Amino acid sequence: MKALLKISAAIDAVNEKFGFIANYFVLFAALISAGNAGSRYLFSESSNGWLEIQWYMFAGMVLLGAPYTLKMNEHVRVDLVYGMVSERTRIWIDIVGGVLFLLPICVILTYFTWPWFVESWKLNEESSNAGGLLRWPVKLLLPVGFFLMALQGISEIIKRVAALEHVIDIDFKYEKPLQ
Which residues, 24 to 83, sit near another protein by CB under 8 A?
Answer: 24-27, 29-34, 36-38, 40-41, 46, 48, 51-52, 54-55, 58-59, 61-63, 65-66, 68-70, 72, 74-83
Q: Which is nearer to another protein, 6 or 21 (CB)?
A: 21
State which of residues 97, 121, 137, 167 lies at the interface with another protein (CB under 8 A): 97
CB of 6 to another protein, least distance (A): 25
Length reported for the chain: 179
State the number of binding residues for another protein (CB under 8 A): 77
Give the separation between CA 110 and CA 12, rounded to whole angstroms. 19
Residues 8-27 interacting with another protein (rule: CB under 8 A):
19, 22-27
CB of 16 to another protein, least distance (A): 11
Q: Which is nearer to another protein, 37 or 164 (CB)?
A: 37
CB of 103 to another protein, least distance (A): 9
87, HSE (Cβ side, Cα atoms, 13 Å):
9
Residues 101-140 interacting with another protein (rule: CB under 8 A):
101-102, 104-105, 108-109, 111-113, 115-116, 119, 127-129, 132, 138-139
